[in-house]
Homo-oligomer: A and B are copies of this chain.
């Protein structure tokens, strides 16, 4: 039987067999949990069926926690953790990747920590970590910033600060964009940043069309590419 606590269960980033990206242990953990907090019911059910097609979905409880949730409603969040007080494990499943990292879940984990519940992070694919590994950029110092500002002036200010941190702190800068704006973002970066600065574009990580390419801005200006609507992450150094 699993120890009571909050289990953070990563899911696949792309449509691959689970044993390509998740340890066998994770499947055992999933089998031992009856209460789940999920980013979306549909994706979570699909993931659980993929973990074990004999799983009895109807015997499980699901609560959604996502961008529509009221995170200021602490009582509602605490209620999601109620099984732990009764000695049961609760699992958190986000739609793709690792819960609580660039994904919902951190607020729930914060409450679990405040209650002194045990929190168990499981191993799984993270586009942030995997792109950093494959970029060739500094892995001793790096920052993930989420989305860049859309507004041109605010973006310029952010890029200036990022450039400063690359130059002075040797800190790799990692960020994302809405997938339908990927191509525009690359063109925009190439027009705004120094020709010698390097940009790594990592797309469809773990997927069949995985591509992780590092080039200078000058090279990106010349390059042909099409990342339109493909999940992609960007790194500067």
Contacts and interface: CB of A to CB of B under 8 A. Distances in A.
A213 to B, nearest CB: 7
Interface string A132-158: 111111111111111000000000000
Contact of A119 (B25, B128, B134): B134
A196 to B, nearest CB: 13
A19 interface: yes
Nearest to A21: B123
Q: How large is the interface on A (under 10, 10 to 19, 20 to 34, 35 or more residues)?
A: 35 or more
Contacts of A195: none
A24 B24 contact: yes
B102 A139 contact: yes
A134 B109 contact: yes
Contacts of A135: 109, 113
A124 interface: yes
Give the oligomeric copy count. 2
Contact of A100 (B101, B139, B205): B139
A201 B166 CA distance: 27
Interface string A97-115: 0111111011101111110
Most B Cβ at <10 Å: residue of A23, A24, A110: A23
Contacts of A146: 140-141
Q: What 10 A-B pairs have minimum CB-CB distances, sorted nearest first?
A: A110-B136, A143-B143, A101-B139, A113-B214, A109-B136, A121-B133, A121-B130, A20-B25, A19-B24, A119-B134
